[in-house]
């Protein structure tokens, strides 16, 4: 991929707080792999509104947030956190972090080699890069129906889809090309039940799919069509939706 982080994805702080909090709440295993220690300096890539970053800092480590969205970064700063705004594929930190962490964000960064090169530069020798993000086949049913609906409207889904979704082997190769040594990497299914309509999930996490449509009426029609087509696959008997997530969790170290 040569495209940079998707400029079409727009984040609403309210939608993020209302619909995305489960993302941070499911980060325990990734945080356990990170094992943050008091006094360490840790960079959190894709920190969002800082909810998880703040929890990591409570243990005594010095956290530095980094996010593409000025709106979410502003919410994180309101928590008293140090946060940089920018494209993580173009970071210029140099040998200053004991660890780099990222939860549920790296799938937004299509230039994976550039991202890892920046992480390697940012780490001190012996530092670690730990993360968890969406992997191959993530939201398979949703993406299939969304892509079909876009194609019906004359829009090329490949030009709109915002996500980088590698297999474990493909990402291992990216990390190793970037000069890091992989000690742990796994791809696994993680279905997540949400307490709001699937259209709300698409509005929150897939705004590129909607920004390319003409107007609000077209977007409502689009979401209604996608929702109907997803009913047999993702809507439970209890009326709740399940998102067919997969996750890729890893740790890699800088020699």
- In the chain the domains, ranked by start, together with CATH numbers, are 13-253 (3.40.50.150)
List, for residues 77-102, the tens digit of each pLDDT value.
Answer: 999 999 999 999 999 999 999 999 99
pLDDT of residue 10: 57
Give residue 58's pLDDT. Answer: 93
Give the tens place of pLDDT for each residue, 120-159: 999 999 999 999 999 999 999 999 999 999 999 999 999 8
Residue 200 CA: distances (Å) to CA of 40, 103, 154, 195, 243: 38, 21, 24, 10, 12
**What is the mean predicted confidence (pLDDT) over 5-29?**
57
Between CA 44 and CA 25 the distance in angstroms is: 16
Taking each helix axis from N to C terminus, what angle separates 198-205 and 216-234, rounded to the nearest 10 degrees? 120
The model's confidence at residue 36, banded by pLDDT at 50, 70 and 90, is very high
More confident residue, 82 or 28: 82
Whole-number pLDDT of residue 4: 45
DSSP three-state, residue 64: strand
Count of other CB atoms within 10 angstroms of residue 199: 18
Around Cβ 184, how many Cβ atoms within 10 Å?
A: 10
Q: Is the pLDDT of residue 224 over 60?
A: yes
pTM (predicted TM-score): 0.89
Whether 17 shows a pLDDT value over 80: the answer reads no
């Amino acid at each position: 991929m040569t495209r940079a982080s998707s400029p079409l994805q727009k984040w609403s702080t309210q939608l993020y707080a209302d619909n995305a909090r489960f993302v941070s709440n499911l980060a325990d295993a990734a945080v356990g792999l990170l094992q943050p220690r008091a006094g360490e300096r840790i960079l959190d890539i894709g920190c969002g509104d800082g909810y998880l970053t703040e929890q990591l800092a409570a243990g005594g480590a010095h956290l530095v947030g980094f996010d593409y969205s000025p709106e979410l970064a502003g919410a994180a700063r309101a928590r008293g956190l140090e946060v940089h705004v920018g494209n993580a594929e173009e970071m210029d930190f140099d040998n200053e972090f004991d660890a780099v962490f990222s939860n549920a964000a790296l799938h937004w960064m299509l230039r994976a080699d550039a991202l890892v090169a920046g992480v390697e530069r940012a780490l001190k020798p012996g530092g670690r890069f730990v993360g968890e993000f969406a992997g191959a086949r993530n939201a398979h049913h949703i993406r299939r129906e969304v892509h079909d609906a876009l194609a019906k409207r004359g829009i090329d889904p490949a030009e709109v889809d915002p996500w980088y979704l590698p297999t474990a082997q493909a990402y291992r190769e990216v990390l190793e090309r970037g000069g890091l040594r992989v000690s742990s990497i796994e791809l696994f299914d993680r279905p997540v039940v949400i307490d709001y309509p699937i259209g709300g999930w698409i509005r929150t996490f897939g705004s590129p799919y909607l920004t390319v449509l003409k107007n609000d009426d077209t977007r409502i029609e689009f979401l209604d069509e996608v929702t109907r087509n997803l009913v047999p696959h993702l809507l439970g008997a209890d009326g709740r939706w399940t998102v067919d997530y997969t996750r890729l969790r890893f740790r890699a170290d800088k020699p």
